[in-house]
Amino acid sequence: MTSFIEQRALYQPRYPSALKAISSLGAVEVGKSDPDISADQLSQLKSLFPNTFGQSVIEMQPAKVESEQKNLKPLTVAVVLSGGQAPGGHNVICGLYEALQQISPKSRLIGFKGGPSGILKDDYVMVERAEVDLFRNTGGFNMLGSGRTKIETPEQFKTCAEVLKKHDVNGLVVIGGDDSNTNAALLAEFFKTENSKVKVIGVPKTIDGDLKNKYVEASFGFDTAVRLYSELISNISRDAQSARKYYHFIRLMGRAASHITLEAALQTHPNIVLISEEVETENKGLFDVVEDVVQVIVARAEAGKDYGVVLVPEGLIEFIPEIRALFNELNNIMADNREHLTTLNSFTSKNEYINHKLSKDASYTFSSLPTDIQRQLLMDRDPHGNVQVSRIETEKLLIELVEGRLSELKSKGDYKGSFAHQSHFLGYEGRCAAPTNFDADYAYSLGLTAGALLNLGVTGYMSVVKNLTKDRDQWQAIGVPLTTMMNIEQRNGAKKPVIKKSLVSLNGAPFERLKEKRTHWKLSDDYRFSGAIQYFGPAEVCDQIPKSLRLEHEAYHSVKDC
Amino acid sequence: MTSFIEQRALYQPRYPSALKAISSLGAVEVGKSDPDISADQLSQLKSLFPNTFGQSVIEMQPAKVESEQKNLKPLTVAVVLSGGQAPGGHNVICGLYEALQQISPKSRLIGFKGGPSGILKDDYVMVERAEVDLFRNTGGFNMLGSGRTKIETPEQFKTCAEVLKKHDVNGLVVIGGDDSNTNAALLAEFFKTENSKVKVIGVPKTIDGDLKNKYVEASFGFDTAVRLYSELISNISRDAQSARKYYHFIRLMGRAASHITLEAALQTHPNIVLISEEVETENKGLFDVVEDVVQVIVARAEAGKDYGVVLVPEGLIEFIPEIRALFNELNNIMADNREHLTTLNSFTSKNEYINHKLSKDASYTFSSLPTDIQRQLLMDRDPHGNVQVSRIETEKLLIELVEGRLSELKSKGDYKGSFAHQSHFLGYEGRCAAPTNFDADYAYSLGLTAGALLNLGVTGYMSVVKNLTKDRDQWQAIGVPLTTMMNIEQRNGAKKPVIKKSLVSLNGAPFERLKEKRTHWKLSDDYRFSGAIQYFGPAEVCDQIPKSLRLEHEAYHSVKDC
């Protein structure tokens, strides 16, 4: 009996018809656009990227004349996977490999291991046909591993250049999120300044969905991860509705932005959905959020329903102004008093010491939090000295505060239900699922496009595939200058060029749809069962794409079933 | 675009060919077997079940002579879902409905709502064609809801009889686990004693896999739940292997028995698998278990691997003798001093008070546990005054103890790795998944068999389908007297007849296979990727059955790929 993985390996990813013959593609300029930022920021960007700023967006199309066909000599390309896993990473590499083979069977693909640090350590494998056949359509980054090391310092840039030169590399493909693509832009600029032949291409990866802009319709991995989370939320919702005795508070991965939570809500119709960006815009305090949840629970209890499903985005807590202020103070106090704090062994003594140093407001906020959360805030710190938001169990925090408020209401006779609860965190389960057809096709197309861009000899570009709501053969393969997506932000006290993170837009169609539906979802049990990701069935179940993507790019009313 | 659920509704469950014509089936006696228990227990059982003990196991086969065809008059049957959700519950009801329709289109199916208490409250819906078409192949128990109320007292028996009489019910089908089936046996005996016409049939349901014996090869729901958990474990393993920085401790549902953990291990090949039954048999203490885990982590660190996957069965902690002893003492102390304890508001004061009353051994065990776990042990109590094992975060307990031991080893220079960790609990995500083909077919067949048994007019039987590793048309539909599976156990101070829970046998083939493989799994990353449950693809991926089931019923060496 063959396994899932053997059967899935047989799937042939689909891709834009323009990419059928990589070697005969030319680039058509489809526009030159500066980022939409202040003149001051623009001039800073220009000075940071003197050689790569201001390039045109290009579309890959069959070349009109022979001369437009650029390099057809073998290419030696290096590839790295950077940051958190996202389903489809292997398919980017497979697509890239096929593109290079088309250009010349003598092309070589070097996979640096463990993320960008693999370049610095010169730790690599040659990606050959065997690897490509083994890893096609599989999830995970285990072909090469990944890592979060950045190539930032002048010494690192130098080492990187030396290693790539040693391997006679023409092109470097960086598969990563916003930070990694920013890094790719800096590398591209550096190589150009140094007259190195290495061209750098970025590929937009992240399950969080926050690498999105007027060119990039989606990052690969988002679809698969959210479909997996939606499967689990569906199952849990059905459990809630069957057992009729628990509120399930489900925290969802996704760092700062609430895209995952929003898409999962459109897929599954929970009773309550918190969207961080809305909480921030409405300037809600923690107790306002709790009150919103409590009101739904009270109303459901009156309808005889002491169960339900609540979706909580991982980043929520940071979007609550009073908590963000507390975090900032805590981070500073803990950084300024690191040595003294190590001498305080008990939570109580640490707590007293810190509370003493907090402002009145922050102290009030801190002491209103449950002890477990206070503990988490004092213990977990990331390497930069910041609170590790992803380790704060916001779902449990909410449960505890909701429980307290409900028992208050109960004693006044304003709530007659019973509140039993379960908490969940959905994150690591989804980052390495086998990519959906959409992500398998999309990531493969991004890999082909990256190869095509390298063949054209451009650098500092992101591989982009557009028209994603259309059939695959109508997808468009384009290259977008990385600097086009940048602005200047304050990071660790310095001004840095960064690709702007996309947050959920409260004016966008996906949020619009949520607002339209959520009142109905509160009291009704209109849970939508999204089912397990299907890879082999009819197109109706295998070829779905994210509902938020459709809402963003199709006519609002044509997007049904959410 | 149609949804997963609409497409899945089209699936036609397969069933034993013998069940093609329910109305022409006869019963063939295939043996009379008493439970394998002491003579003393046997005689107690006989006296508890004077009317229903000693019936024969029967197989449903086409009747040889017309006269063997029993009742073909319309039947009025009541059905209840009892206890925790398990994928396939709706298909039992659908199969039962189709059987009744075959017997006579005038048959009626009454679904009592919210579990057995629905009978007592006379809260029901009529199950009609529309419900059957809507719920076929779906997970959850939301068609009727479920509940854990038992019909136990003489008053409840009387009410139950009255309600069923009011509806002119001929047959009652109880879909549940060991306890619910025990209850079904008691009801069958009661109705027979009272000369009521109500016949009672049980159907073996539980994801835990602990309702299994020489007749019952599996309970429905186990396959789907474990496949779902295995999908998630696979994804997490791939994440571990890709990121190379976390140990994932994954606790798995399954109450006392470790069947789910064992099957999930055979599906996914984790680095470490704890099996409660083995821990108990080897009389391991908590620190022995921790030491086993630590040894693997140290060995992996030496191989440069600071990551891995550890499976922990939910019931583990109760199988550790010292902890079980502690639980018993705690339960008694807390029951005996309930009133005084409510006056102690802080954890510290409760802790002091209780520690004072514990035996020396128990006190030592208690104080060796991390504070969070101590807290859980003092707070959470079930309605019977017992520790709620499922709410103890054993995975976090292990992490904390492992971490402590590793830092000890590190300070001695015996461990050079770094130990970062993530914890997971997989439970509610799996109980309401859409049933796999296996569970959809099996549950449907159990429903048909229940209908056939009622048509034959028998009572106190369990609907059983055998030969599950064969093709569906070779499956055998049999009826097994419920008393055949029973023994007498001490429960809450009284001797009660109960269906014996099946624990993992350390001599069984599934555990044998685990032992054969696990040494290799420790250091290698031989993770098996089981993939998402597929409903539409080729038989290779859609028609799998549990590996432990195959190991138990097929030649050991013919079961590969685990």
State the smallest CA–CA distance between residue A487 and chain B in angstroms.
30
CB atoms within 10 A of CB B192: 18
Judged by a CB distance cut-off of 8 A, whether residue A536 touches chain B is yes
* Greatest Cα-to-Cα distance within chain B, rounded to the nearest angstrom: 83
The rounded distance, in Å, linking the Cα atoms of A31 and B332 is 78
Q: Is the pLDDT of residue A229 over 50?
A: yes
Q: How far is CA A344 from CA A58, A339, A362, B531, in A?
A: 59, 9, 21, 48
**Which residues have a Cβ under 8 Å from the Cβ of A555 and sit 6 or more positions away?**
none
Choose among B479, B534, B551: nearest CA to B30.
Answer: B479
Please state, in angstroms and rounded to a whole number, the distance separating the CA atoms of residues A552 and A383. Answer: 37
Three-state SS across A113-158?
A: CCCCHHHHCCCEEECCHHHHHHHCCCCCCCCCCCECCCCCCHHHHH
Residue for token pair 């989370």:
A229
| Sequence-distant (≥ 6) Cβ neighbours of residue B150 within 8 angstroms | B116, B179, B180, B183
pLDDT level of residue B165 (50, 70, 90 thresholds): very high
Cβ under 8 Å to A: B residues 217-246: 228, 231-232, 235-236, 238-239, 241-244
- Please choose, from the candidates B16, B95, B83, B88, the residue with its C-alpha nearest in 3D space to the C-alpha of residue B438: B88
Angstrom distance (rounded) from CA A121 to CA B32: 72
pLDDT tens profile B185-236: 999 999 999 999 999 999 999 999 999 999 999 999 999 999 999 999 999 9
- SS3 at position B59: strand
Kindly name the residue from A179, A208, A439, A441 that is annotated as catalytic.
Answer: A208
CA distance A115 to A417: 51
Average pLDDT, integer, range A329-338: 89
Three-state DSSP class for residue A406:
helix
Phi, psi of B505 (to 5 degrees): -85, 125
SS3 content of chain A, % helix, strand, coil (to 5): 50, 15, 35
What is the number of CB-based contacts under 8 A between chain A and chain B?
A: 183
CB contact under 8 A, B3 and A528: yes
pLDDT one-digit tens code per residue, B346-356: 888 888 999 89
- Nearest-CA neighbor of A51 among A199, A173, A167, A202? A199
- Residue B69: pLDDT over 60: no
Instruction: Determine which helix (DSSP H) or strand (DSSP E) holds B57, and give its type and residue range.
Output: strand B57-62
CA distance A288 to chain B (A): 28
* Record: contact B537-A537, CB cut-off 8 A: yes
Give the bridge partners for A312, in sequence order. Answer: A251
Q: Is A149 on the interface with B (CB under 8 A)?
A: no
| Mean per-residue pLDDT of chain A | 94
Best residue in A5, A142, A307 for a mutation probing chain B (most B CBs within 10 Å): A142
CB proximity list for A40: less than 8 A, separation 6 or greater: none
Distance from CA of A549 to the nearest CA of B (A): 15
CA dihedral for A353, A357, A358, A363, sign (positive or negative): positive
Quick one: pLDDT band at residue A2, thresholds 50, 70, 90?
low
Task: Say what the pLDDT of residue A491 is.
Answer: 76
The strand pair at B461-466 and B476-481 is best described as antiparallel
pLDDT tens sequence across A196-228 = 999 999 999 999 999 999 999 999 999 999 999
The pLDDT value recorded for residue A109 is 98
Nearest residue of A to residue B233, measured between CA atoms: A429
DSSP 3-state of B273:
strand
Mean pLDDT, to the nearest integer, of A515-535? 96
DSSP code of A213? -
Position B33 pLDDT exceeds 90: no
How far, in Å, CA of B111 to CA of B127, rounded? 6
**Tokens 């073998």 appear where?**
A74
Average pLDDT over residues B44-48: 95
CB-based contacts of A122-130 (< 8 A; 24+ apart in sequence): A122/A163, A122/A166, A124/A78, A124/A167, A127/A79, A127/A93, A127/A97, A129/A97
Q: pTM for the whole thing?
A: 0.96
CA–CA separation, A469 and A474 (whole Å): 9
Q: Please give the average per-residue pLDDT across B476-499, as a whole number.
A: 91
Contacts of B537 in chain A (CB under 8 A): 7, 534-537
Domains of chain A, with CATH numbers? 75-205 (3.40.50.450), 222-431+507-558 (3.40.50.460)
pLDDT on residue B1: 47
B389 band by pLDDT with thresholds 50, 70 and 90: confident
pLDDT digit string (tens) for A273-289? 999 999 999 999 999 99
Residue B247 to residue B212: CA distance in whole angstroms: 33
Question: Using CA of residue B521, residue B527, residue B531, residue B537, what is the dihedral sign?
Answer: negative
Contact B431 A235 (CB under 8 A): yes
Query: Chain B: nearest CA to A308, how far in angstroms?
Result: 13
Contacts B145 to A, Cβ<8 Å: 242-244
Give just the sign of the alpha carbon dihedral A140, A145, A149, A152: negative
Please write the tens of the pLDDT for every residue from A38-61: 999 999 999 999 999 999 999 998
- Residues in B touching A145 (Cβ below 8 Å): 242-244
Residue A1 in this model has a pLDDT that exceeds 50: no
**Tens digit of each residue's pLDDT (9 = 90 or more) over A471-482:** 999 999 999 999
Q: Across the interface, do B5 and A531 touch by the CB < 8 Å criterion?
A: yes
b/e per residue B354-390 (b: at least 16 CB within 10 A): beeebeeebbebbeebbeebbebbbeebeeeebbebb
Considering only the beta carbons, identify the residue of A432, A433, A541 that sits closest to B7. A541
Alpha-carbon distance of B43 to B32, in angstroms, equals 16
pLDDT digits (tens, 9 = 90+) for A289-300: 999 999 999 999
Tell me, yes or no, if B253 comes closer than 8 A to chain A by beta carbon. Answer: no
Query: Which H helix or E strand runs over A49?
Result: none
Low-confidence winner among B448-457, B488-497, B528-537 (lowest mean pLDDT): B488-497
A208 is catalytic: yes
Task: Evaluate whether B220 touches B445 at the Cβ level (below 8 Å).
Answer: no
Q: ipTM value of the model?
A: 0.96
Average pLDDT over residues A3-9: 92
| Distance from C-alpha of A161 to C-alpha of A171, rounded to nearest angstrom | 11
Region B258-265: what's the mean pLDDT?
98
Query: If you ran DSSP here, which 8-state letter would residue A205 be given?
Result: B
Q: Which of B20-24, B292-296, B334-338 has the highest mean pLDDT?
A: B292-296
| Residues contacting B440, CB < 8 A, separation 6+ | B11, B13, B88, B91, B137
Number of other residues whose CB lies within 10 A of the CB of residue A207: 32
Contact between A30 and B557 under an 8 Å Cβ cutoff? The reply is: no
Chain B touched by A528 (CB under 8 Å) = yes
Q: Which chain B residue shows the shortest CA-CA distance from A241?
A: B142
Of B1, B4, B379, B426, which to mutate for an interface test with A (greatest number of A Cβ within 10 Å)?
A: B4
Say how many C-beta atoms besides its own lie within 10 A of residue A336's C-beta: 12
- Record: contact A529-B238, CB cut-off 8 A: no
Q: Which is higher by pLDDT, A22 or A297? A: A297
Give residue-wise pLDDT tens across range A421-434: 999 999 999 999 99
Residues on chain B touching A8 (C-beta within 8 angstroms): 531
Q: Would the CB atoms of A235 and B428 count as touching at under 8 Å?
A: yes
Q: Which of chain B's residues have a Cβ under 8 Å away from the Cβ of A244?
A: 114, 145
Q: What is the pLDDT of residue A188?
A: 98
- A369-409 tens-digit pLDDT: 988 889 888 876 776 777 888 888 999 999 999 999 999 99
For A64-99, what is each residue's pLDDT tens digit? 765 555 557 899 999 999 999 999 999 999 999 999
Residue A468: CA count within 13 A, CB half-sphere: 31
Give B5-14 pLDDT, tens digit per residue: 999 999 999 9
Structure tokens at B231: 């999908």
A95-108 burial, b at 16+ Cβ within 10 Å, e below that, comes to: bbbbbbbbbeeebb
Chain B: nearest CA to A143, how far in angstroms? 8
3 state DSSP class of A453: helix
Q: What is the pLDDT of residues A151-178, one digit of tens each?
A: 999 999 999 999 999 999 999 999 999 9
Decide: helix, strand or coil at residue B147. strand
B350-385, pLDDT tens digit by residue? 889 998 999 999 999 999 998 888 988 887 677 677
Instruction: Read off the pLDDT of each residue in A104-112 and give the average, rounded to a whole number.
Output: 97
Answer whether residue B67 shows pLDDT above 60: no
Which of A207, A529, A560 is best to mutate for the B interface (most B CBs within 10 A)?
A: A529
Residue B552 has phi, psi (to 5 degrees) of: -75, -25
Looking up tokens 């008070």, which residue turns up? B353
Whether the CB-CB separation of A547 and A230 falls below 8 Å is answered with no
Structural tokens at position B132: 């059957």
**Tens-digit pLDDT profile for residues B443-453:** 999 999 999 99
